[in-house]
């Protein structure tokens, strides 16, 4: 299976929180893991926010940050382009998405278009984005 991971899914690999088992299961089953380059600052921001809000210690935050930096090169990255940004803009109005969420969905749809015969799983844990991905024909987590 080929999987696209948005930042909400990647963060669940590092913290014990709801749906972490689903995110980790898809990670373990995927042969190739894709994400957008925008995931990097989003994941780093989530780690920093977890520490600032007291959900983890500073040393725990530094540990997960270090682990993330080790695996980041293993992803296949979808780079931002003008075409991708235009598609994301259309998805915002088509599905009432936030800007960054639309970039994630546009990135996954680009993969789907390029590989007609691939089984692409879209792993995210934002309810609205997950529903938009389902409406666009992507396989997603059903338990949300």
Query: What separation in angstroms does the CA of 23 have from each of 5, 27, 81?
Result: 9, 6, 27
- The reported pTM is 0.94
pLDDT band at residue 117 under the 50/70/90 scheme: low
pLDDT at 113: 84
d(CA 57, CA 91): 37
pLDDT at 78: 96
d(CA 40, CA 105): 16
Mean pLDDT computed over 15-34: 95
Can you say how many angstroms the Cα of residue 50 is from the centroid of all Cα atoms in its chain?
18
Mean pLDDT computed over 19-36: 96
pLDDT at 31: 94
pLDDT at 112: 87
pLDDT at 142: 81
Lowest mean pLDDT among 1-15, 87-101, 107-121: 107-121
* Domain annotation for the chain: domains and CATH numbers: 2-39+75-140 (3.40.50)
d(CA 137, CA 74): 26
pLDDT at 116: 64
Residue 44 has pLDDT above 70, yes or no: yes
> Could you tell me the sign of the dihedral formed by the alpha carbons of 77, 127, 96, 8, in that order?
negative
> Could you tell me the sign of the dihedral formed by the alpha carbons of 63, 57, 127, 106, in that order?
negative
């Amino acid at each position: 299976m080929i999987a696209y991971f948005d930042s909400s899914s990647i963060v669940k690999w590092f913290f014990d929180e709801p749906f972490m088992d689903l995110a980790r299961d898809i990670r373990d089953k995927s042969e190739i893991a894709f994400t957008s380059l925008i995931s990097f600052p989003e994941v780093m921001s989530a780690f920093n926010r977890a520490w600032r809000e007291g959900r983890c210690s500073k040393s725990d935050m530094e540990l997960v940050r270090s682990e993330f930096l080790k695996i980041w090169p293993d992803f296949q990255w979808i780079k931002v382009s003008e075409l991708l940004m235009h598609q994301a803009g259309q998805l915002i109005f088509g599905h009432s998405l936030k800007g960054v969420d639309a970039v994630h969905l546009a990135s996954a749809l680009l993969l789907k278009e390029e590989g007609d015969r691939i089984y692409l799983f879209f792993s995210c844990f934002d309810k609205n984005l997950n529903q938009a991905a389902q409406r666009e024909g992507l396989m997603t987590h059903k338990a949300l």
